[in-house]
Amino acid sequence: MGRRPSNKPTSFDIAYLAGVSQPTVSRALRGSKSVSLATRQKIEAIARQLDYTVDKNASSLRSQRSNTLALLFFEDPTPDESNINPFFLAMLGSITRHCAARSLDLLISFQRLDDDWHKRYQEAHRADGLILLGYGDYTLYENRLRQLIRSGTHFVRWGSVEDSAIGATVGSDNFGAGRLAGEHLLARGRRKIAFLGQADVHYPEFSKRYDGLVRAIETAGLEADTGLLFDAISSEESGYNACRALLESGHPFDAIFAASDLIAIGAMRALAQAGLSVPGDVAIVGFDDIPAASFTTPPLTTVMQDMRHAGEALVGSVMAQVEDRPPPPTILPTRLVVRGSTGG
């Protein structure tokens, strides 16, 4: 505490000026929640004034950490060659910002179900923890998550937040979002609402969105028609094919709730080819609010997920594990963005 600031600032100099111990400075600059917000902000302000930067090599040697997280995308079918769902690309900025705020580096790679991607990261000390985005069929992904648990890997995934979830999970209120979409369509006078999305154990997020839609329909005193449920995964082509199957089924419908914007965009193409207008003949709601949603004709009404807090929660969850704290399951709220596809 009696040390004076030197020409080259150190964490001891910051401790002297802040009136705290050097370990407190180290924890604060790592973003540890064990240091109060007011103290962290004071320490960060002094660090900026001194133009102090963390010596990551020294910090890593002391903590046996790489100060790096690995972000692993699951490959999705896309019209371009990115193979990344545009919803997850939108989340990337938030994750990157929150890593930077904690002085963490971020590795980005693809994950494949037939590949031992987890062994290349934490077990090889390339990363302190993993953030997993996307997984396709959850029943196939489940075994890999159990492997991560057995190996003691620090990880968090974006997905359906359930009591039975394997490992740390951050996700949206999918049930509430489905109910919100249903209530909106019902308020627009629609009574025969189709759902496009695989609503079963293979895709638990889609299943919760469908359950929320059903709740809205039943609360309105109507009966949900299972004949208006058509499987689709999150791609434009799948949405197009599902909507074609819906049209060919002969079941009357005046609205569609699509489990993702990509499905909705494909469905709009099928409706246009069938000579049906949106929203005149069929109102449609998507999910995710990807950038393309505002550029469809008409612009797509959709459910927006909380991207800013998603990145914060994902990084915070995996770092809680690294710092030996229990990560809480996090369910984030959603909101409806009303555009032309429902007459908004």
Q: What percent of the chain has pLDDT over 90?
A: 49
pLDDT tens per residue, range 227-286: 999 999 988 999 999 999 999 999 999 999 999 999 999 999 999 999 999 999 999 999
Largest interatomic CA distance in the chain: 82
- Tokens 């007459």 belong to 343
The pLDDT score that the predictor gives to residue 50 is 87
Residue 64: pLDDT band with limits 50, 70, 90: low
Residue 113: pLDDT band with limits 50, 70, 90: low
pLDDT tens per residue, range 267-283: 999 999 999 999 999 99
Strand order in the sheet with 334-337: 229-230, 193-196, 255-258, 283-288, 301-305, 334-337
The pLDDT score that the predictor gives to residue 22 is 78
pLDDT of residue 57 exceeding 60: no
Q: Can you list the domains of the chain with their CATH numbers?
A: 11-54 (no CATH), 68-170+307-331 (3.40.50.2300), 174-305+336-342 (3.40.50.2300)
Residue 79 vs residue 325, higher pLDDT = 325
Residue 16 vs residue 341, higher pLDDT = 341
pLDDT of residue 63 exceeding 60: no
The pLDDT score that the predictor gives to residue 60 is 47
pLDDT of residue 23 exceeding 60: yes
User: Which residues partner with 156 through β-bridges?
Assistant: 131, 168
Among 25-34, 57-66, 104-113, 183-192, top mean pLDDT goes to 183-192
pLDDT tens per residue, range 288-329: 999 899 999 999 999 999 988 999 999 999 998 888 788 877
Residue 72 vs residue 90, higher pLDDT = 72
The pLDDT score that the predictor gives to residue 341 is 97
The pLDDT score that the predictor gives to residue 218 is 97
Q: What percent of the chain has pLDDT over 70?
A: 85
pLDDT of residue 61 exceeding 70: no
Tokens standing for 272? 């246009």
pLDDT tens per residue, range 330-343: 899 999 999 999 99
The pLDDT score that the predictor gives to residue 297 is 94
Residue 183: pLDDT band with limits 50, 70, 90: very high
The pLDDT score that the predictor gives to residue 73 is 79
pLDDT tens per residue, range 25-39: 877 887 766 788 889
The pLDDT score that the predictor gives to residue 25 is 84
Span 75-94, mean pLDDT?
69
pLDDT of residue 56 exceeding 60: no
Span 198-208, mean pLDDT?
92
Mean pLDDT score across all residues of the chain? 85
pTM over 0.85: no
